[in-house]
Amino acid sequence: MAFNLKNPRNIINNLKSKVGLWSLMKQSHSTCCYSSCLNTIHLHRFLPLTTLPQFTNPESISHKKGHFPHFQRFQSTTTEKQIDSVPNDEHNQVSDFPGGKVVFSPEMRFLSESPSVYSQCYRVLDDAGQLISHSNFVPVSEEVAVKMYSNMVTLQTLDTVFYEAQRQGRISFYVTSIGEEAINIASAAALTSDDIVFPQYREPGVLLWRGFTLQEFANQCFGNKADYGKGRQMPIHYGSNKLNYFTVSSTIATQIPHAVGAAYSLKMDKKDACAVTYFGDGGTSEGDFHAAMNFAAVTESPVIFICRNNGWAISTPTSDQFRSDGIAVRGQAYGVRSIRVDGNDALAMYSAVRSARQMAVNEHRPILIEAVTYRVGHHSTSDDSTKYRPADEIEWWRMARDPVTRFRKWIEINGWWGSEAESQLRSSIRSQLLHAIQIAERAEKPPVNDLFTDVYDNIPSNLREQEKLLKETINRHPEDYPADVPI
């Protein structure tokens, strides 16, 4: 903020009248009422989080309107309440600045670069699929639990079959979600079909849960005429208008601010829905993540940020990306309610996302979920992760910490699943996938003309010239171009 210092006294008087109202407030309100309110808020802030899985609103105990003047744009912003809870004595003088309230102290103290206690990670099932004693979670019916497990197995099989197809040279590229099936399916199960999804590229399970068929997956990966992207996207860049799933883009983190904008629109239109965006730990190193978090907090938009902290941004470990205590603490820095969850625990993920959605929609606020997991597969078919991490580490996570196996043990304990159902499911899914691949592979390819459509209403002359030159080149050198692409 810049000031013209020509009339400094007028400026000072103006600032006093605008923001320097703390002394007036103290005179106009009784000490008893003020102290009572402070004690109530202060007590609530330090209650032990034993009911964390219920995700109750930590600001549910609030002061009555009229006790304090509010200068911030949004009534539900919690910063002012937290500042108000600090006693205004001689050692803690509170003052208003145009940038916000600050608490003065005679003690020179730097904020620590790391916390003395690490953020807790919410978990419901142990590695053996047993409920942890005193765990608190959102109940799941037998029907939903079995569907969740079936979808997790389907996603696991989908990755195996398509990875093999790429290795056989039948498709050009593929990305697996091995080790992250619980994040995909459990989060999708906790949302509604009206919620708008902005994925990265490792969330095909969300589409699967919403009804995207195995044939639709195959059509996209093979880029045939039935592909909704008309073959113009690389494999695994899925998208579906019908299922409220924005098309995947490989550029890292660009989807995050898009999700916030969509969420703000939902809020303005008073829709009973939220936006959800997924990204990896590497995405949090991009500026788009930080801009989106701040944007969401300030506009109080109903958006859920789901970070898959799987330890690796391709070959870059988290230790080379940041020094903070993971990702969840970054939300708190931006004023966004956050939680760290065991991403290999489907029941914990379901509970966290279900509760996060309720808060986002009902309270109009952003929520950050850090799902801690491990990327068991290679980053993509273009990557060999054994070059930068030990193979025995990968195998240990595959066998000992597999989220699919853990959830299966839990539904078996409940009597909802058995060996016969398991065998039938896996055999059926693999058969359906192989059949879908055969159909997708034989299907006609989109024509060359589709490269130039769906952007402009009237194709400009420069693109028409490019189309003409491309067709002439294909006719001159047919041996260099796929024979099954219609000209």
* Selection from 413, 442, 342 nearest residue 130 by Cα: 413
pLDDT of residue 48: 36
378 is catalytic: no
28 is catalytic: no
Q: How far apart are the first and last CA of the chain?
A: 60
pLDDT of residue 10: 52
The string of pLDDT tens digits covering residues 159-173 is: 999 999 999 999 999
Query: Please, what's the largest Cα pairwise distance for the chain?
Result: 90
CA dist 339 and 328 (Å) reads: 6
The string of pLDDT tens digits covering residues 56-95 is: 455 443 433 333 333 344 444 444 455 455 555 666 677 7
Which of 164, 444, 465, 472 is labelled catalytic? 164
Q: Bigger pLDDT: 2 or 228?
A: 228
* H, E, C per residue of 202-220: CCHHHHHHHCCCHHHHHHH
**DSSP letter, residue 125:** B
Alpha carbon distances (Å) from 422 to 123, 147, 151, 170? 25, 13, 12, 29
250 is catalytic: yes
pLDDT of residue 35: 38
Q: Which of 2-6, 23-27, 430-434 has the highest mean pLDDT?
A: 430-434
CA dist 67 and 74 (Å) reads: 17
* Selection from 395, 387, 407 nearest residue 146 by Cα: 407
pLDDT higher than 80, residue 482:
yes
**In the chain, pLDDT over 70 holds for what percent of residues?**
81
Which of 249, 250, 285, 324 is labelled catalytic? 250
The string of pLDDT tens digits covering residues 269-324 is: 999 999 999 999 999 999 999 999 999 999 999 999 999 999 999 999 999 999 99
CA dist 481 and 290 (Å) reads: 43
Strand partners, 367: 304, 337
pTM over 0.85: no
Tell me the three state secondary structure of residue 147: helix
The string of pLDDT tens digits covering residues 201-220 is: 999 999 999 999 999 999 99
Which of 181, 338, 379, 385 is labelled catalytic? 379
The string of pLDDT tens digits covering residues 349-381 is: 999 999 999 999 999 999 999 999 999 999 999
For 11, the token pair is: 């400026």
pLDDT of residue 90: 60
